[in-house]
Amino acid sequence: MTEEDAKVTYDHIAHSPHCGMEKAARLLGHRPRHTALDAVSEAVDRLVAAGTIVAAT
């Protein structure tokens, strides 16, 4: 990943809304099976396994 890619990724994450699920649970009965952190972790694991990104050592 280039430094520019890292900056763009950070900017996207920093400015993306992260909302609590309390309202969805209260109004819709929706309870996600995974946390946002679980989703990111799984995505990174898959990217490493595919060789798209390299894990830091």
In a domain, 4, yes or no: no
Domain count of the chain?
1
* pLDDT given for residue 36 in this prediction: 81
In a domain, 34, yes or no: yes
Domain coverage including residue 56: 20-57
pTM over 0.85: no
Average pLDDT, the chain: 88
Q: Which residues contact 30 (CB under 8 A, 6 or more apart)?
A: 21, 24
CA gyration radius, the chain: 15
* pLDDT given for residue 35 in this prediction: 84
In a domain, 38, yes or no: yes
The span from the CA of 22 to the CA of 19, in Å, is: 9
In a domain, 15, yes or no: no
> What is the number of other CB atoms lying within 10 angstroms of the CB of residue 39?
12
Query: Distance between the two ends of the chain, CA-based, in angstroms?
Result: 15
In a domain, 48, yes or no: yes
